[in-house]
Structure 1
Amino acid sequence: MNEIEKKIVDQFDVAKAWSHVQHLVEKLPGRYTGSDQERQSAEFIAARLREIGIEPQIQPVDSWLGVPDGATMRIEAPEPIDIPCAPDTGRGQLISGEFIVIETPEEARQLAGKLTGKIVVIPYSYSYPITPEEARKQGAAGMIYGNWGPSDVDILRVTAPQTWTYWGLPDPDAFRIGEQEAIPQGHIGRQSYERVRDLCRKGKVTGSFSANIRSFWGKSHQVIADVGPDHLGDDADFMIMAAHHDSWNPGASDDGGGVAVLLEAARVLHGARQSLKRKVRFMFVSGHENGAYATSTWYLDNHWQALREHAICFSFTDNPGFANAPEFKIEANEELMDFALACARDVVGDEPKINVHRANKTADRGFFGVGVPGIYTRGAFTQAQADAWGGAFLGYWNHSNHDTLDKIDPVNLERNARIRLLEAVRLCSAEILPYDFRRTVAGMRERLEGWQADGRYDVSGTLALARKFAEHLDAFYGPAGTRDAARTNETLKALARELSWINYTYKGRYGQDIFGVDLKKPLPIMNSIDELAHHAAGSPMDLMLRARIRRDQNKVEDALRASIALVTSS
């Protein structure tokens, strides 16, 4: 860090941040969207911003919300067992049938066409072996998720019931599916899940469950405030620093800690605003837990052009400062991976392990279509810790009443906050934006080369374009010389707009992929190529998949051609 960066980052006061966490957890623990405490949480945030000289806006956003309202589950055979259960979707109807366990995508493929009337049981994760939508299409009667966590813990998870059919406020078709055709879904604890799984592995298991969600129209309250040099107007570039202030009770780590980090970051950056070249737009979003990411998606839909022209990064802070978490995790668009890693290393040094991954479609990160790159940096548990907790990389207490103040360590909270601050300072003061698309196109080339070598589908033309683009990028990133910063930044933003939607979405620029889609590999928009392996050449499904792939391939090739034009004319 240089002297200016260090001076700014060192202003972070963890005692102030901790007082914000305490207030949210102790005074406003039940701040799920649609509750009075969620509105009070927004007012609390706005009051703290005004105290430091920032004038916020509270934006009420119409939202379709859901609140858990009871669930039951009972095994009838091979032996009667009552199992504690929490609801995900449903209207209280009793669902009876055979329980079928699916733990891997391969098992899902093997059971394709055999799920009619079955109750599908899967382990909870951020990447399902079979999605609820696919289970619905195959005629499943219901779905049960087994919570992550250690085998001797049976904590029930409270989940967002609105995220499996749509993202943001639903259109009429998504609303109809969600309300009329959605299969009932429930959650059971890890210990219960393993008991049910073991029974299913031994033989036929039958029983029933019911799940009831109280759904209603309500308001999600979003708080927005800008920090930046006094001379910048509405047409200035900006980054977004966001956290969700709605939480399940009591929501200490998820996301009282994130709100606290952003409030203190706002204070620090407001004091240093004259040293910045760009604005920071703070967004305390809501509808995150039980409204399908309502406010951040509303903001995207209603500020589309401003985001396309001026947004440089979506930085999300969620679950920072875990106690007993010795590592760090970065999820970022590939063009910002090296930048984010450098920021983290400059704060914490060489010792802690830092895991860097491609950005994924979770939380409020719905900005891939519009083309705004993102960074999500947080403290992380070791793989051994997560494995011992059944894969619970956010802690086995996540989304439960066990998410109490002891789950946050003030020292880790401060370390994470200093990284996020340094990212913001550098993004908003850099002469030239730190996007490096060479890493982005390298990932695309590797995926295309794998498909081409596999031989099931010809991507040689697309691969040739990606290689040509890589060559032009090498020239573009050559010696800076007398490069015009403003023109270069416009080119970099335009590249992000062209490449993000093909590299991080299925639905493209204007749609929203649902929660749980798999973005682990580049060019997910062409993922249908992988499905060819499961269908005979020349079969109807093979032919239909090839038609879809060709259309998606055209999208990718158009984006690559546009990107080549951008870097060659810059």
Structure 2
Amino acid sequence: MSSYEQPLYDCQTPSLDSTEQSVVESIDQDRMWDSVEKFSSLTRISGTSGERKAAEYLTTVLSDHAVSHTVHEPELYLSTPISATVTATDRTECFKSAKTVAFSNNDSVSGEVIRLHADEEGDSVESLLDHSLNIDDVAVEDKVVVAESLIPITEIRALAARGAAAFIAIHPHDREPHEGIISPVWGGAPTFEEKDKIPEITVANISGDDGDKLDALIENNPSLSLTVSTTVDTRWVRCPLIEAEITPTKTATDEFVLLHGHYDSWHVGVTDNATGDAALLEAAIALSAHADQLTRAVRVCWWPGHSTGRYAGSTWYADTFAQDLHENCLAHVNVDSPGVTDAVEFTSRVKWMTAAAPVAIGTITDVTGKQTQTRRPSRAGDYSFNNLGIAGLSLQSSIESAVREKRGYHLVGGSGGHADAWHLTTDTLEKADPATLKRDTAVYTIATYRLASSTECPLDYRLTIAEHQQTLATLASGAAMLGLEKEHKKLTETYEQLSKSVTEIYERGDHSFENLHSLARVLTRVNYVTDGTFEQDPAVGRPPLPALASIEQPPRDEDQKRFLACGARRSYNEIIYELRSVLTQLSAT
């Protein structure tokens, strides 16, 4: 029961079969809470002794329960914020809450302040990263730019390109700014061609209270100059990455499900993500005890480098095992921030790709009795497998929106919406709850079990095709304005043919993952990425059908319209080609 009298379950008993009930009963709440308590005393910044102690603990527990596992030691490109100071250049004022961020310059700079005001940040993780600071007509060279924001990644890069000396973000948290990272490069380490995408700028964050103080100072002195000094440790670091594998005992198969989450943290990071690490342990133990019921293997991974390397651990794994993942991984399940105190609902923070909706919705309903809904995954978290075309799901519970509003919480990217926990020193043990963690772990474990025990493909790609068709319909007007009616019609007809073919396959009962493999990969990629299969799209928002999304509202300038049409025509051709290739393969099924 939560502290505000809302139930963790909306059903008397879970609606599970006998094997699933046995899986849930294998989850030991006390053992899991012991793991959370252990991690609550470890600062698990990647590359530190705290992270290694956590890795040693995880492997000890796995060994104690005879769960086969491997410890990889990748070298990751990480950027660890150490300290920051923000002072009036005349030393009349110092803002003590200042922190720097991962991949900020390691520097001390001074400049005249320019105060900007950001657009509303919206209601999603992507809106935290992509909102505008309205800098187009502002001279920012050599200036210290100040705005209320979290980390507007795209705008920070634009400020760096235009020669701004520094950026100071005023955070909505009154006492302490949230930790963060400014690089859009997914995985931390850029390719040789991407190396200039890491912005060269000095960045500091300050609390809301210090922001009020700074605004008063600016109002009294419009020509105020600030000095921003940062210390950041950016280098290659070797880190443990733990991979457990549960192999079916009665079925020989190369197919597998990837269950994963990060075990590094900001500070002690109880809800982000010590609770998730404990959940992964219990899931591994429970699924291992039921390996005779599996038709696919389950790999369970604990990632380093999530926080200071923009998902560096999962990106290394995606790169290193790319062929195996592409050929054999049915789906990935990301475990992040389960078990938050008062997180009683499954509506605002859940996210899964449409094909996974029957598994995700069915599991949440059957285990908890709670209502839920499909939400599109943002380009965040350890969704490092989009380019490979692998369907992903995350079943995050959350504190109810009315409760968050009543408590004055602002929008955050994790911790069940707990704004006094996410990426803060106050993400401590009391922010988590054992019973909530047991429920959430059951949800994640049963979802993984259902993915790994079905004989056919449990993902419904008919739903994905319908989603694409709905998105495509919204682009018809823009296509016509750009003279692309013919291309739009061809793609629409191709989706109609694909829908008919795939529906027939499901109705015949021929929907094995092997038969649907090419379809699954292409549909996921078309809806989530624009870069290559073995590349990583940047950590910025990706709308549905991203290669075509910009045609929805064409520019007025004639040259700009033609430039847009040129690229869009190529995108239409590419998508039509990919889908027709899939149709050819399906016709042989």
Q: TM-score, normalised by structure 2?
A: 0.86
- Is the Cα contact below 8 Å between 2:36 and 2:278 reproduced in 1? yes
Secondary structure of residue in 1 paired with 2:579: helix
- Is the Cα contact below 8 Å between 2:32 and 2:282 reproduced in 1? yes
Residue 221 of structure 1: aligned partner:
240
- Is the Cα contact below 8 Å between 1:445 and 1:467 reproduced in 2? no
After TM superposition, list the pairs within 5 Å mapping 1:496-511 onto structure 2: 496-511=520-535
Query: 1:129, CA displacement in angstroms?
Result: 8.1
Residue 417 of structure 1: aligned partner:
441
Change (3 A) 1:14 1:530: same
Distance 1:480 1:440 in 2: 13
Secondary structure of residue in 2 paired with 1:68: strand
Secondary structure of residue in 2 paired with 1:358: coil
Distance 1:232 1:96 in 2: 66
After TM superposition, list the pairs within 5 Å mapping 1:78-227 onto structure 2: 82=95, 84-88=97-101, 89-104=104-119, 108=132, 111-117=135-141, 118-124=143-149, 128=152, 130-149=154-173, 153-160=174-181, 163-178=183-198, 182-193=200-211, 204=222, 206-208=224-226, 209-227=228-246
Distance 1:550 1:466 in 2: 14
After TM superposition, list the pairs within 5 Å mapping 1:516-527 onto structure 2: 517-519=540-542, 521-527=543-549
Structure with a larger share of its residues in strand: 1
Deviations 1:502-531 (A, max 9, x none): 21113242321222x113x31122233257
Aligned partner of 1:305 among 318, 323, 337: 323
Secondary structure of residue in 2 paired with 1:282: strand
- Is the Cα contact below 8 Å between 2:98 and 2:207 reproduced in 1? yes
Residue 502 of structure 2: aligned partner:
476
Task: Give the aligned CA root-mean-square deviation in angstroms.
Answer: 2.8
What one-letter code is carried by the residue in structure 1 that aligns with 2:24?
Answer: V
What one-letter code is carried by the residue in structure 2 that aligns with 1:5?
Answer: E
Change (3 A) 1:558 1:200: farther
What fraction of aligned residue pairs are identical, expressed as a percent? 22
Confirm whether residue 365 of structure 1 aligns to residue 383 of structure 2: yes
Confirm whether residue 546 of structure 1 aligns to residue 565 of structure 2: yes
Distance 1:357 1:318 in 2: 16
Aligned residues: 550
Change (3 A) 1:558 1:115: farther
- Is the Cα contact below 8 Å between 2:97 and 2:176 reproduced in 1? no
Residue 462 of structure 1: aligned partner:
488
- Is the Cα contact below 8 Å between 1:71 and 1:86 reproduced in 2? yes
- Is the Cα contact below 8 Å between 2:149 and 2:169 reproduced in 1? yes
Query: 1:340, CA displacement in angstroms?
Result: 0.6
Distance 1:48 1:62 in 2: 25
Residue 340 of structure 1: aligned partner:
360
Secondary structure of residue in 2 paired with 1:31: coil
Distance 1:504 1:252 in 2: 30
The unaligned stretches of length 5 or more in structure 1 are: none
Change (3 A) 1:83 1:473: same
Distance 1:201 1:547 in 2: 48
- Is the Cα contact below 8 Å between 2:186 and 2:315 reproduced in 1? no
Aligned partner of 1:236 among 241, 254, 272: 254
After TM superposition, list the pairs within 5 Å mapping 1:479-494 onto structure 2: 483-484=509-510, 488-494=512-518
Distance 2:147 2:319 in 1: 34
What one-letter code is carried by the residue in structure 2 that aligns with 1:465?
Answer: L
What one-letter code is carried by the residue in structure 1 that aligns with 2:80?
Answer: V
Distance 2:131 2:80 in 1: 32
Distance 1:484 1:245 in 2: 39
Query: 1:562, CA displacement in angstroms?
Result: 2.6
What one-letter code is carried by the residue in structure 2 that aligns with 1:405?
Answer: L
Query: 1:549, CA displacement in angstroms?
Result: 2.8
What one-letter code is carried by the residue in structure 2 that aligns with 1:22?
Answer: E
Distance 1:509 1:453 in 2: 30
Distance 1:201 1:377 in 2: 46
Residue 403 of structure 1: aligned partner:
427
Residue 248 of structure 1: aligned partner:
266
Residue 68 of structure 1: aligned partner:
81
The unaligned stretches of length 5 or more in structure 2 are: 1-15, 121-129
- Is the Cα contact below 8 Å between 2:482 and 2:562 reproduced in 1? no
What one-letter code is carried by the residue in structure 1 that aligns with 2:242?
Answer: V
Confirm whether residue 376 of structure 1 aligns to residue 402 of structure 2: no
Change (3 A) 1:142 1:508: farther
Change (3 A) 1:529 1:81: farther
Deviations 1:311-365 (A, max 9, x none): 0111110111111122123211111123211111111104xx5343111221211
Deviations 1:534-562 (A, max 9, x none): xx4223x4443333333333332222223
- Is the Cα contact below 8 Å between 1:64 and 1:216 reproduced in 2? yes
Distance 2:584 2:403 in 1: 47
Aligned partner of 1:262 among 272, 276, 280: 280
- Is the Cα contact below 8 Å between 2:322 and 2:534 reproduced in 1? no
- Is the Cα contact below 8 Å between 2:494 and 2:576 reproduced in 1? no
Residue 450 of structure 1: aligned partner:
474
Distance 1:145 1:496 in 2: 41
Confirm whether residue 390 of structure 1 aligns to residue 405 of structure 2: no
What one-letter code is carried by the residue in structure 2 that aligns with 1:527?
Answer: A
After TM superposition, list the pairs within 5 Å mapping 1:20-31 onto structure 2: 20-26=35-41, 29-31=42-44
Distance 1:200 1:69 in 2: 27
Deviations 1:184-218 (A, max 9, x none): 11222233346657887999574322222112221
Secondary structure of residue in 1 paired with 2:495: helix
Change (3 A) 1:410 1:450: same
What one-letter code is carried by the residue in structure 1 that aligns with 2:554?
Answer: L
- Is the Cα contact below 8 Å between 1:242 and 1:285 reproduced in 2? yes
Residue 125 of structure 2: aligned partner:
none
Distance 2:379 2:34 in 1: 31
Deviations 1:94-117 (A, max 9, x none): 142333324228984853142432
Query: 1:478, CA displacement in angstroms?
Result: 4.3
Residue 349 of structure 1: aligned partner:
369
Distance 2:404 2:221 in 1: 30
What one-letter code is carried by the residue in structure 1 that aligns with 2:78?
Answer: L
Distance 1:71 1:416 in 2: 37
Residue 10 of structure 1: aligned partner:
25
What one-letter code is carried by the residue in structure 2 that aligns with 1:553?
Answer: Y
Distance 1:298 1:48 in 2: 24
- Is the Cα contact below 8 Å between 1:237 and 1:311 reproduced in 2? yes
